[in-house]
Amino acid sequence: MVSSIHASQPGPGSSNPPWWRRSVVYQIYPRSFADGNGDGTGDIEGIRSRLGYLRELGVDALWFTPWYLSPLADGGYDVADYRQINPRFGSVDAAAELIAEANANGMRVIADVVPNHTSDQHQWFLEAVASEPGAAARSRYHIRPGQGDGSRPPNDWTSVFGGPAWTRLDDGEWYLHLFAPEQPDLNWDNPEVVAEFDEVLRFWLDQGVDGFRVDVAHGLVKDPDYIDLGDETEQILGNSRRANHPFWDRDAIHPIVRRWRAVVDSFDNERMMVAEAWVLPESYGKYLRPDEYHQVFNFDLLQAEWDASEMRNVIVTSVGKAAGVGSTPTWVLSNHDVMREATRYGLPKDTKWRVWPIVGPEEDLDLELGARRARAAALLMLALPGSAYVYQGEELGLPEVWDLPPEVLDDPVWERSSHKQKGRDGCRVPLPWTAEEQSFGFGSNGSWLPQPPWFGQYSVESQTGVSSSTLELYRAALRLRRQHCIDDEDIEMLDLGEDVLAFSRGGGLRCIVNFGPNPIGLPAHGSLILASSVEQGGVTLAADCAVWLI
């Protein structure tokens, strides 16, 4: 056994580091988690009724995707009022009670903040539309005259969801929306916008949240001259290689982040911020300077193919990047924007999973393989140093509902991509809690997206107490992680062959994942404390399986 790298990074006051450095954060998509009032949409009451489940699962924190007042044109990432809760979900008082109850159950709470754009139903945008060109109310957004005779948009930028990034108002001016037309981009050069978000953060910190996930954190600032982009391939959400990109990852973002950090730091009790910033490795550290974000989401694991060397590179690079700036890495296998990994890993290598539900072929999907790999990936992620973000249903091994009929699709991506991509509804179908009941226990009156007949077999009820189930695997992994993986942030990569990813943690736990087609012999060990597959006998490790050894 040859040691290949050693990255060690003791956190500040490593005996008692801030909670967020080593947490497992469970992402709740409130609309699809649990429906307490029987209207077919998940809500705060439903979440409160399931806090016991989350506590027993063993997660350290909950992250709620936006629950604010919103017409839900983009699932709530179109906020009409940042200080109100969508009445379909509850009220601010109910949210504050939920936060307090979660805290009382030992779980921290992270709220989502959406500063790049508002809803087109936000008071500010309604005022902007009602005012004259050139009025101050328009300068809170990017509202510009068109080119030529005004009938051409101000420049060539296109929306992340497809189509032009500009929509024309009735009076002839155009407004910018990097996402859907219902999501006008705010103008962060306007001091009123800057001041407003300081207050929005304070408002939610006063309600007790322990931190914020900041949406599209790399997009806030736009080129003041609105220069053409020229190359459409640079349009995609991040990972752009272009220096001085007109709307991604601009330097002027950082003074804004420093303001927010000062606000967050003025509250006690280790409040934090994690950025959703799709940026290149060389930019990553800038967001993590000591007076900026505490963490940045790292989507590299999610984007990696099922391949030992690709995953190994991701881990080594991510650990190194975070260590270099005194933070800890974050790990994500799925979220509300991507195909669930139990399906993704069941598709042939290099499949473009965003378009696969349209182009197929269906025979390419091997759900058994996907489930095996997803379970192994869970053990891989949960043994790593730093924080893991687990998306609701991931702990059930829930596959993507990739074949939702077009008439029920709600995600703007479907229309904006001219039906080339189905969008993200397939990972947002309401959770199955029971095997047989109405809506599989999600609620008493249907669910806003249809659940497939096979959902019951993945329900919490069907898996609870079944030792071979994915839910029990997660429960065990979270318990053992607390015992073996959170006392330090050390990781040592081990060389067990090309197709094997192996590492040991400071406390002695070894995680071994076999990416190859054949079983491998396990190295000598004291005991095998967890295996992703029950067929694992303790001597060999089957293909697409993982074990934890001590």
Q: Which residues bind ligand BGC (CB under 6 A)?
A: 74, 77, 114, 179, 215-216, 276, 336-337
Rounded to whole angstroms, the Cα distance separating 543 from 525 reads 19
Residue nearest ligand BGC, Cβ-based: 77
* CB-nearer residue toward ligand BGC: 210 or 276: 276
Rounded to whole angstroms, the Cα distance separating 72 from 99 reads 23
Residue 418 Cβ vs ligand BGC, minimum distance, rounded to whole Å: 18
Rounded to whole angstroms, the Cα distance separating 105 from 414 reads 39
Residue 2 Cβ vs ligand BGC, minimum distance, rounded to whole Å: 40
Residue 77 Cβ vs ligand BGC, minimum distance, rounded to whole Å: 3
Secondary structure (3-state) at 285: helix
> Which residues 6+ apart lie within 8 Å of 301 measured at CB?
311, 314, 315, 318, 331, 332, 333, 381
* Whole-angstrom Cα Rg for the chain: 23
Residue 179 Cβ vs ligand BGC, minimum distance, rounded to whole Å: 4
Q: Give the CA distances from residue 232 to residues 212, 235, 276, in Å, rounded to whole numbers and listed in that order.
A: 31, 5, 22
Pull the structure tokens for residue 264: 């967050």
The DSSP result for 314-360, as a single string, is HHHHHHHHHHHTT---EEES--TTS--HHHHTTSPTT--TTTHHHH-
Rounded to whole angstroms, the Cα distance separating 423 from 400 reads 12
Residue 413 Cβ vs ligand BGC, minimum distance, rounded to whole Å: 8
**How remote is the C-alpha of 42 from its chain's centroid?**
19
Residue 114 Cβ vs ligand BGC, minimum distance, rounded to whole Å: 6
Contact 250, 286 (CB under 8 A): no
SS3 content of the chain, % helix, strand, coil (to 5): 30, 15, 50
Strand order, beta sheet including 61-64:
295-296, 272-275, 211-214, 108-113, 61-64, 24-28, 387-391, 330-332
> Which residues 6+ apart lie within 8 Å of 374 measured at CB?
333, 341, 342, 345, 394, 397, 470
Residue 434 Cβ vs ligand BGC, minimum distance, rounded to whole Å: 28
Contact 312, 501 (CB under 8 A): yes
Side chain identity at residue 290, one-letter code = P
Pull the structure tokens for residue 245: 């990109």
Residue 411 Cβ vs ligand BGC, minimum distance, rounded to whole Å: 8
* CB-nearer residue toward ligand BGC: 193 or 308: 193
* CB-nearer residue toward ligand BGC: 389 or 515: 389
Residue 260 Cβ vs ligand BGC, minimum distance, rounded to whole Å: 17
Residue 276 Cβ vs ligand BGC, minimum distance, rounded to whole Å: 5
Rounded to whole angstroms, the Cα distance separating 264 from 259 reads 9
Rounded to whole angstroms, the Cα distance separating 81 from 98 reads 20
* CB-nearer residue toward ligand BGC: 35 or 411: 411
* CB-nearer residue toward ligand BGC: 216 or 480: 216
Residue 215 Cβ vs ligand BGC, minimum distance, rounded to whole Å: 5
> ∠ CA 539-544-549 to the nearest 5 degrees?
40
Task: At 52, give phi and psi (nearest 5°).
Answer: -60, -40
* CB-nearer residue toward ligand BGC: 156 or 276: 276
* CB-nearer residue toward ligand BGC: 421 or 504: 421
Task: At 258, give phi and psi (nearest 5°).
Answer: -65, -35
Residue 473 Cβ vs ligand BGC, minimum distance, rounded to whole Å: 27
* CB-nearer residue toward ligand BGC: 185 or 292: 185
Rounded to whole angstroms, the Cα distance separating 212 from 203 reads 12
Residue 178 Cβ vs ligand BGC, minimum distance, rounded to whole Å: 8
Taking alpha carbons only, the member of 524, 542, 443 closest to residue 50 is: 443
